[in-house]
Chains A and B, each alone.
Chain A
Amino acid sequence: MDKMPGWADAVLVPLISLILAAILSALVIIGIGEDPVAAFKLMVDGALMRSSGWGYTLYYATNFIFTGLAVAIAFHARLFNIGGEGQAMIGGLGVALACLYIPWPNWYVALFGATVSAAIFGALWALIPAYLQAKRGSHIVITTIMFNFIAAAVLNYVLVNILRPQGAMDPATARFPEATKLPTFQDMFSTAETAMFRGAPANVTFFLAVAMCLVVWLLIWRTKLGYEIRAFGQSESAAKYAGISPVKITVVAMLISGGLAGMMALNTTMGEAERLVMNATEGAGFIGIAVALMGRSHPLGVLLAALLFGFLYQGGAELALWTNIPRELIVVIQALVILFTGALDNMVRMPLEKLFLASRRKA
């Protein structure tokens, strides 16, 4: 059977899905009696027209790049890692322990150490579901969902009973030492005359996230391991005949995925809050699913989708501040994006495919 060209598959299908999601979101805004055009303008104003708005947009985008890459790399091995949220929570624990108990000399050594720690913690949290999937055939979606809840309980216990400083009320760790403070965009880009990104939480981890996009791209398309992951994802039986171990690929892909999800906590915990709080993940683990689906599991796509969701998040906060539209609008948009780019993919693809085939027959 003929296929439609690659660019249509990679660009046109997600674009149409996005437009459908946008139209429905606009209808929702009209439904609650607000003006979607004005709302969109407000979002653009708040998220993109000032450098501090960009500072927030890029801060959120940083989270979503990490979790999006995490979901994407698992997708390549045809594994649905829905546990990014839990892996990021445990990754946050890794960041906190590294920052609190190791006397780092300066921020870049600290960032390196915390990155390794976050990745290891996140990866280990993904290890058990991966092992159970590979060895015992337990469905990874269900086990990772369960591990999200278990992670929340573990984090709650650790924060309330172990890491909470004496006398403190809220379940959070002590403030990290000064040496672990990461430079924010304000520190990096402000000049003596003009302050840029004032008060915004975007920090140096954004560049780490972008670098990880490149690393993941190299890994997937330029290494033997990446080839094995893709081969396994395309056809498990073919991969087996080629001597690729399904157990190894399942476990390794999930370890990388969990590690990336864990690294997301660097941004919120080390970069922004400078201590570990209960809700350090801010739901980014789940947004990673939408980001990976929209980005077609390609690092560049993930980067762009993460920027879009960063914009939506910051824009949504502006909306909640100035209008009667609650922040939950973003959750609805996120749901619609997942629905159209993920579950209803065929609804968009089938007619488009027919259209392409018809036009080709004419030509």
Chain B
Amino acid sequence: MDFATLLQVLDSTVRLATPLLLACLAGLFSERAGIFDIGLEGKMLAAAFFSAAIASITGDVWMGLGAGILASLALSVLHGLASITFRGNQLISGVAINFLAAGLTVLIAQDWFSQGGRTPSLIGAGRFEGITLPGVDAVSGIPIIGPIYQELISGHSILVYIAFAMVPLTWWLLYRTRFGLRLRAVGEAPEAVDTAGVSVIGLRYVAVGICGVLCGIAGAYLATALQAGFVKDMTAGRGFIALAALIFAKWRPWHALYACLLFGLLQAVALRYQNIDLGAFVVPVQFMDALPYILTVVILAGFVGKAIPPRAGGEPYVKER
């Protein structure tokens, strides 16, 4: 593999890791606050549709992004209602949200656009275009660094940079602010937070809300930056890969970045090379597809460093048992 190919694969790794990273951080906020969320997939899907639909109707991708975030937030509120207010089963609520999004997006797409459950292709201002970072021309002459800066670092859409900036921001928020401390506490020992006079329900709703916003950006990225428009089931399991990455990262922001880059790389390689011929044997593309899931099961099994979720995760909080 020559240098140019390597750069291309890494470039596509960054593109493919971005939605995973946003969704993974979304899940991180929610699960750190003690609300399991297997509805990441559905929220992304809803956001993908509404961002593409509104962007195509208004011709303004920022309106699309806003609509996507709102759609995702609406599902988050539903999840919060079910799992925080009515103390229902968080996993079942997540499953319901996934189906709701899968069904409603196609239903509304068919009603609005009559194109077999997809939106029209987005053109011009309806899409997030790549941004050329300053100084590309200046460094382009330098070997190695020039192409890396030009191909790999520059030229992505704004959402990619937002996603990567979210990693240190999440870290800072979680580990260096009072809000972050409380958020983590509410996922580990909600009764302690309650005793301190801080609202468990309020904190959890905020966490679920942040999760909704981030999933919204992730979905909008899929439909308006990575691709030009919405197609049925376009998230294609990314919400679950993000969930896998979250476990892989053991619910920590920087590790989430590494896990998402790894899974992004796997996707990029699977996309570029169908079956990989290693001489002695051929790695089938299906194995590459399944690898994130297999790795997650191995991590979950605790054979390579055990993944322990937040202690109060999945449990509705009830005062005075």
Q: Is the CB of A33 within 8 A of B99?
A: no
For chain B, residues 230 to 251, give those with C-beta under 8 angstroms from any C-beta of chain A. 237, 240, 243-244, 247
Q: Is B302 in the interface zone, CB < 8 Å from A?
A: yes
User: Which residue of B is nearest A155, CB measured?
Assistant: B286
A345 contacts chain B at the CB level, 8 A cutoff: yes
Query: Are A343 and B297 neighbours in the complex by a CB distance under 8 Å?
Result: no
> In the complex, A150→B103 CA distance in Å?
24
Chain B residues lying within 8 Å of A238, measured Cβ to Cβ, are none
Contact of A335 among B99, B240, B244, B301 (CB under 8 A): B99
Cα–Cα distance between A283 and B102 once the two chains are bound (Å): 12
Q: Is A229 part of the contact surface with B, judged by Cβ < 8 Å?
A: no
- Complex alpha-carbon distance, A128 and B300, angstroms: 12
Question: Does A317 interact with chain B (Cβ within 8 Å)?
Answer: no
Residue of B107, B294, B302 touching A136 (CB-CB under 8 A): B302
**Contact B108–A32 (Cβ < 8 Å):** yes
Q: Does A147 contact B (CB under 8 A)?
A: yes
Instruction: Decide if A326 is an interface residue (CB 8 Å cutoff).
Output: yes
- Complex interface: chain A residues within 8 A of B81 (CB): 344
| A141 and B107 contact, CB distance less than 8 A | no
**Helix, strand, loop or mixed for chain B's interface?**
helix
Residues 253-304 of B at the A interface (beta carbon under 8 Å):
284, 286-287, 289-290, 293-294, 296-297, 300-302
How would residues 80 to 113 of chain B score, 1 for a CB under 8 Å from any chain A CB and 0 otherwise? 0111001111111101111110111011101100
**A331 close to B (CB within 8 Å):** yes
Distance to closest chain B CB from A345 (angstroms)? 6
Interface range, B side: 35 or more
B301 and A132 contact, CB distance less than 8 A: yes
Tell yes or no: A157 within 8 A of B by CB: yes
Q: A138-B302, A145-B240 are in contact. Are A80 and B297 (CB under 8 A)?
A: no
Measured CB to CB, the closest approach of chain B to A245, in angstroms, equals 20
**Does the CB pair B88–A157 fall under 8 Å?**
no
Contact in complex: A344, B91 (CB < 8 Å): no
Q: How many residues of A contact B (CB 8 A)?
A: 50
**Interface contact A138-B300, CB-CB below 8 Å:** yes
Contact A132 B92, CB 8 Å, known A141-B38, A150-B294, A339-B100: no
A146-B296 in contact given A328-B117, A331-B102, A344-B86 (Cβ < 8 Å): yes
Are A335 and B107 in contact, with the CB atoms below 8 A?
no
Q: Is A346 an interface residue (CB 8 A)?
A: yes
Inter-chain CA distance A160–B289, complex, in Å, is 15
Within 8 A of A (CB), among B24-38: 38
CB contact under 8 A between A331 and B287, given known A143-B297, A338-B96: no
Q: Is the CB of A32 within 8 A of B89?
A: no
**Pair B97/A335 contact, Cβ less than 8 Å:** yes
Are A343 and B89 in contact, with the CB atoms below 8 A?
A: yes
Please measure, in the bound complex, the distance between the C-alpha atom of A51 and the C-alpha atom of B213, giving whole angstroms: 50
**0/1 string, A329-363, CB within 8 A of B gives 1:** 11111111011001111110010000000000000
Q: In the complex the two chains form, what is the Cα distance from A232 to B293 in whole Å?
A: 29
Contact status of A161 and B284, CB under 8 A, knowing A343-B96, A344-B82, A346-B87? yes
Query: Is B293 within 8 A of A146, CB to CB?
Result: yes
Cα distance, A338 to B100, chains bound together (Å): 10
Contact A331 B89 (CB under 8 A): no
Instruction: Establish whether residues A335 and B237, one from each chain, have CB atoms under 8 Å apart when the complex forms.
Output: no
Known: A142-B243, A331-B103. A149 touches B96 (CB 8 A): no
* CB proximity of B242 to chain A, nearest CB, Å: 12
CB distance from A142 to the nearest CB of B (A): 6
- CB-CB nearest in chain A for B106: A328
User: Contact at B286–A293, with CB atoms within 8 Å?
Assistant: no
Contact B301 A139 (CB under 8 A): no
A149 touches B284 (CB 8 A): no
- Given A147-B293, A286-B99, A342-B93, output 9 extra A-B contacts at Cβ < 8 Å: A147-B297, A149-B290, A150-B297, A160-B286, A325-B107, A328-B110, A332-B100, A335-B102, A343-B90
B-binding residues in A (CB < 8 A): 28, 31-33, 80, 82, 128, 132, 136-139, 141-143, 145-147, 149-150, 153-154, 156-157, 160-161, 286, 289, 293, 324-326, 328-336, 338-339, 342-347, 350
14 contacts between A and B (CB under 8 A): A132-B297, A143-B300, A145-B38, A149-B237, A150-B293, A157-B287, A324-B111, A326-B107, A329-B107, A332-B100, A338-B99, A339-B82, A342-B93, A343-B93
